[in-house]
Amino acid sequence: MLPDREILALHRAVTAIRSVSGEEAGLADFLGDLLRRNGVAVTRLGASLLATLGEGPVLLFDTHLDTVPPVPGWTRDPWEVVSIDGRVHGLGSNDAKASVAAMTAAFLAFREADLPFTLALALVEQEETRGTGTQAVLAELAARGTPPVAAVVGEPTGLDLAVAQKGLMVLELVARGDSCHAANAAALGAANAARRLAHDLVALERVDLGDPHPRLGRVTLEPTQLRAGTARNVVPGEATAVLDARTTPALHGRALVERVERVVEGEVRVLSERLRPRETAEGEPLVEAAREARPEARLFGSATLSDMVFLEGIPAVKCGPGRSERSHTPDEFVLESEILEGARFYARLVRAWAGRLVAEAVA
């Protein structure tokens, strides 16, 4: 393992390099050079990197290089990295450059080891926007004939283990009425689409969203954007609401749409349903290895999205240094102690996974 001071220096360096989603090329250049200087073969996929060590079944470490833009409220330069009393401030310091530094340090710790499997490190672009980086990495591994048998997604979880993650469906609720001059609406008996939409929005409270998932809780369904009318004096002929649905493995896709349709009068359109919920069984070898590496870790379900969504059929956990509640906040920070413990955890997980493979081979 790299010395602590080098791990922290790496974290400060990657945090200082601007990498708002779509602008990750410079950071990919920096990390690609670092990996190659350490004798690691690196494949560049756009502004994403894929590095591998060893041979055999692939354990994938995956985290993202990109950040969101700075939100309002910063009191310091988001790209000026400052460490104060063990807190490292900077845009992306917590989400997810703490995982970038910790995973990279753990990966490099095994560059001369004789691993009984392939350890793959994916440092990907555009996780915060489209997820294209992880999708490109998975396509590359599939083309090599070595799809991952397990994966660890680096996100700030306090090093607790997210073994489930909610999915996302985006729906549009459409109400229709009769366009006319507002002054004539009552005399004409014109139906106002805005009023119809309002009734449907209230009716959403009656949607049967099923029982809570043991780890993810209830499916949620929230109106987030409303649109109606073209002018102040025109009764709207159409009104729409965007609905944000956070789903569980028990309720996603057409089944959810049908439940909404039962209580509303308007049309329900599906704008997106590709981001499906994910769940890894507690008894999976990866989960057991992660718990061996960190016995105090809590197993939980995550309401927030990550590139775990693209790991269909692949046992995966989401786990990394830092805290989710600090992500996308002004004056974002992570603790130096969290970064170092993250690197140690990832290294212990590699050893635990290797031990299980060796034990299975002997048995």
78, 70 in Cβ contact below 8 A? Answer: yes
347, 59 in Cβ contact below 8 A? Answer: no
> Does residue 361 have a cis bond before it (omega within 30 degrees)?
no
User: Per CATH, is 4-165+277-362 categorized as 3.40.630.10?
Assistant: yes
Confidence of residue 356 (pLDDT cuts 50, 70, 90): confident
CA distances from 271 to 127, 135, 257, 268 (A): 20, 21, 11, 10
Average pLDDT value over all residues in the chain = 96
CA distances from 310 to 13, 165, 275, 290, 331 (A): 29, 11, 8, 20, 30
- Section 212-222 average pLDDT: 96
Euclidean distance between CA atoms 196 and 266, whole angstroms: 8
* Fold designation for 167-275: Alpha-Beta Plaits (3.30.70)
pLDDT digits (tens, 9 = 90+) for 319-336: 999 999 999 999 999 999
The two beta strands, 299-302 and 161-165, are parallel
pLDDT digits (tens, 9 = 90+) for 31-78: 999 999 999 999 999 999 999 999 999 999 999 999 999 999 999 999
Q: What is the pLDDT of residue 103?
A: 98
- Section 103-121 average pLDDT: 96
Strand partners, 173: 241, 268
* DSSP conformational letter for 3: -
Q: What is the pLDDT of residue 363?
A: 62
- Section 114-138 average pLDDT: 95
327, 94 in Cβ contact below 8 A? Answer: yes
Q: What is the pLDDT of residue 355?
A: 87
Confidence of residue 85 (pLDDT cuts 50, 70, 90): very high
Residue 361 has pLDDT above 80, yes or no: no
Question: What is the helix (H) or strand (E) element at residue 140, kind and residue range?
Answer: helix 132-143
Where does the chain hold its CATH 3.40.630.10 domain(s)? 4-165+277-362
Euclidean distance between CA atoms 251 and 298, whole angstroms: 25
CA–centroid distance for 299 within its chain: 17
154, 283 in Cβ contact below 8 A? Answer: no
Q: What is the pLDDT of residue 358?
A: 78
Residue 362 has pLDDT above 80, yes or no: no
Where does the chain hold its CATH 3.30.70.360 domain(s)? 167-275
Confidence of residue 254 (pLDDT cuts 50, 70, 90): very high
